[in-house]
Structure 1
């Protein structure tokens, strides 16, 4: 078991130090729109839900460990089935790797952001709760594209640049349909998938007969999708996003970075919690999970609670940070130790000038800038708000205005940065990474195993979704399915593990 109290532990910040205010400046912003309960309010929360579990001898029918979209979805489905359910969340907020915050008085999304109607699970929830979407201006109507190739900067109208980039994409994505003919059924063409899954995104790119300019643009694109260097990202992961976007490049642009919830991802989470009878305990990290013959005992820093079943809804990278008795399968522990590829930087950058709707591309390794991609979020009376991505947090401190301004100069000479803001998810002990992108070989080796229940433990999360893995949609897909599985399990439970 990882020693969560050791402040020198892997990841840089212990759970205790994190909860004690190591990132208080960012955590304080998490309260935007929040109305969930802390563990001290649990008595009131119990009154909200079903007060008596199905079986005697336990505190709850189900305990959900983790309050991201997967955990909240699973808990909602369980409580709708009349089951007494509690969510245990280590942070002082719900949302997991989604995080609605503020910069200069305006709303920003430090984690998961974009939604689309090709993402059926999240889109259904948005329609169900009557939420509105808005567009990211730079993706909706790009005017100018700036790109780095062979350490030179080029600039052209968007239509001209996309001709170069589009031809490269047509070549790169040509095998997508053979790998994922049914995108939400990842193993439908299993033989083909297994043949291709060991390739990295970079290896496949290198094989293609593209110009260096096209390869540099594609390198930027691949790095942005996978949030790391392209050699760490599975080629099959890149194909999956394209397949889920109806094998269409303009649709993929729209699906991954154009539409967002106008009132923030937090508003969808709040609507789902309000529609649930689950109890919520915040600032309640789980230390141990012990399966017994007819129940599961969960140990937190506040004591032990029991349930007939437990839903583990934590990110893949943190699975091994909880002590399980009996131990989890070797495969689950193995992939948790490996970690997925997503480790990069996402940040919001306010520049003084109105620079219009721009989009930039730069290969992950170049001599000019750490940013692989920068694009306009919106233009307003205060200048331009940009969103920037880099493959490695070691390359840029996104919260250092001067460093960010210097990094932008090769792409946008003369811009003045007035504020810059991001969140290092790698230092967050409850995530230890950004969105999930599998490394070469991980899909075929681990996805099925991650989804398997173990006794009274069930596993859910965006990191193990069949479809939009790494997105809010994938979290809701997985949470709904596991909530249904656990409800059926508990209602048919004969008292034996």
Structure 2
């Protein structure tokens, strides 16, 4: 039910209001609607999808945000299938390229070939991480037996204590930049362990074949969200950032610039630091406010460089490369067809990327691709990039980079309801936290919980 107010805003009443139209919010909405409840989804951006966002390069749709799905990501795969989206394998045939300490090497497999000493050292680090992983409660890492000690160290400090060799540290720094959008010195060891455990272990997190990077969505991951949003229709309102949520014993009142929505319950799916952008009345408890203050988003940027054809394949290269210096630090081949266009997806370090002009960003990326793939990389036919750290709304990604002490102090607030306000989103997942799969699971889980509460109220 809707009606106009004297100030020109619209007032609407529904059973449940949902903040955010990423996979958690959209999944929760679909689930609640299927149970006969009325919902309104409020999205601050001008689009749905959250950190799944598409762009176009050389006429091909590409993922500027979330990209890959694992064979074990059954929830997002089932959703994609229902929406008529298909998977395509991540190309990984041929040799990979490593640029380290100013030298170019070729290798195959996940881990680059380095000196025997470094190989032993990297195996030592992984063994030590695996041992720690067994102690971490993936559903509540802050309740793990050694949580206080693990959370007091940054990932970088732990590598120092383990006396990791420089090349081992360089590899761990690449992992940290891709997964948390920060350096090892900026993220808690407990937070790192939680995400690795949630991802199914370090090997699964990094691998292409049978790993987290095995498949892409041919239509892009945002297309899944768009098709689900089409089914939900006018239940979704974009360009509607939530400013305030009031609650009492009877329900919640959610306010945007143009509307007031009254509901029995609210589901908030925004990332932890962006909870702080909403005025909650009554205010969040100390742990909830602390979570918003102390779990900053990391920052990661992506570029896509297109060529007439994937020329590197003819040279026996996979298009996957790692580098320890410069703007780019990892690349993948996301070409739609062997005949072209050839497209390289490039992860870029925001500190030496985001603040520069589009022309300079492009030239820096292309220059590194020439180092990795030779002079043919000098003449791309198209280019696009996206800097998540400079988004005008809800900036940052891919995940929060929780520093030392933040998880033990405030981690429980990820999922603890605030009265009639419940939380969802990939960060609130146990297993698969940090993935699209985790987001879908939390949307379904919270929707089931809310549906039960509404039903109890109706029958009381």
Q: Does 1:172 align with 2:125?
A: yes
What is the CA-CA distance between 1:159 and the residue it aligns to? 5.1
TM normalised by structure 2 equals 0.84
Change (3 A) 1:300 1:119: same
What is the CA-CA distance between 1:271 and the residue it aligns to? 4.5
Q: For residue 376 of structure 1, what is the aligned residue in structure 2?
A: 333
Q: Does 1:215 align with 2:178?
A: no
Query: Once the two structures are superposed, what CA deviation does each residue of 1:94-138 show, in whole Å capped at 9, x if it has no partner?
Result: 11110122211101011111111223432343455564211221x
Q: Does 1:146 align with 2:101?
A: no
Q: For residue 463 of structure 1, what is the aligned residue in structure 2?
A: 427
Change (3 A) 1:326 1:102: same
Q: 2:258 aligns with which of 295, 302, 314?
A: 302
Residue aligned with 1:286, SS:
coil
Q: Which moved more, 1:477-486 or 1:225-234?
A: 225-234
CA distance in 1: counterparts of 2:84 and 2:140, whole angstroms: 31
Query: Once the two structures are superposed, what CA deviation does each residue of 1:235-264 show, in whole Å capped at 9, x if it has no partner?
Result: 334434443454462664133333111222
Q: Which moved more, 1:445-454 or 1:409-418?
A: 409-418
Q: Which runs of 5+ in 1 are unaligned?
A: 1-41, 44-56
Change (3 A) 1:330 1:250: closer
CA distance in 2: counterparts of 1:236 and 1:182, whole angstroms: 8
Change (3 A) 1:180 1:94: farther
TM normalised by structure 1 equals 0.78
Change (3 A) 1:448 1:277: farther
CA distance in 2: counterparts of 1:116 and 1:418, whole angstroms: 31
Change (3 A) 1:209 1:292: closer
CA distance in 2: counterparts of 1:313 and 1:112, whole angstroms: 16
CA distance in 2: counterparts of 1:65 and 1:127, whole angstroms: 25
Q: 1:281 aligns with which of 237, 258, 261?
A: 237
> What's the C-alpha RMSD, in Å, of the aligned pairs?
3.1
Q: Which runs of 5+ in 2 are unaligned?
A: 3-10
Q: For residue 385 of structure 1, what is the aligned residue in structure 2?
A: 343
Q: How does 1:192-211 map to 2 (within 5 A)?
A: 192-208=146-162, 210-211=164-165
Q: Is the contact between residue 176 and residue 240 of structure 1 (CA under 8 Å) also seen in structure 2?
A: no
Q: Is the contact between residue 137 and residue 144 of structure 2 (CA under 8 Å) also seen in structure 1?
A: no
Q: For residue 365 of structure 2, what is the aligned residue in structure 1?
A: 404
Q: Is the contact between residue 301 and residue 389 of structure 2 (CA under 8 Å) also seen in structure 1?
A: no
Q: For residue 48 of structure 2, what is the aligned residue in structure 1?
A: 94
Residue aligned with 2:446, SS:
helix
Q: For residue 274 of structure 2, what is the aligned residue in structure 1?
A: 318
Change (3 A) 1:349 1:235: farther
Q: For residue 493 of structure 1, what is the aligned residue in structure 2?
A: 457
Q: For residue 38 of structure 1, what is the aligned residue in structure 2?
A: none
Change (3 A) 1:85 1:245: closer
What is the CA-CA distance between 1:326 and the residue it aligns to? 1.0
Q: 1:69 aligns with which of 23, 39, 43?
A: 23
Q: For residue 298 of structure 2, what is the aligned residue in structure 1?
A: 342
Change (3 A) 1:376 1:322: same
What is the CA-CA distance between 1:486 and the residue it aligns to? 1.1
Q: Which moved more, 1:244-253 or 1:311-320?
A: 244-253
Task: Provide the aligned length of Structure 1 versus Structure 2.
Answer: 434
Q: Is the contact between residue 273 and residue 297 of structure 2 (CA under 8 Å) also seen in structure 1?
A: no
Query: Once the two structures are superposed, what CA deviation does each residue of 1:306-356 show, in whole Å capped at 9, x if it has no partner?
Result: 111111122222111121211112222223233434212122122467123
CA distance in 1: counterparts of 2:341 and 2:232, whole angstroms: 41
Q: Does 1:333 align with 2:292?
A: no
Q: Which moved more, 1:437-446 or 1:300-309?
A: 437-446
Q: Does 1:78 align with 2:32?
A: yes
CA distance in 2: counterparts of 1:110 and 1:208, whole angstroms: 36
Q: How does 1:405-424 map to 2 (within 5 A)?
A: 405-414=366-375, 415-416=377-378, 417-424=380-387
Change (3 A) 1:63 1:232: same
Residue aligned with 1:156, SS:
strand
Residue aligned with 1:90, SS:
coil
Residue aligned with 2:333, SS:
strand
Q: 1:475 aligns with which of 439, 447, 459?
A: 439
Residue aligned with 2:15, SS:
strand
Q: Which moved more, 1:118-127 or 1:69-78?
A: 118-127
Residue aligned with 1:63, SS:
strand
Change (3 A) 1:391 1:235: farther
Q: How does 1:225-304 map to 2 (within 5 A)?
A: 225-247=179-201, 249=203, 252-254=206-208, 255-273=211-229, 276=232, 279-304=235-260
Q: Is the contact between residue 398 and residue 422 of structure 1 (CA under 8 Å) also seen in structure 2?
A: no
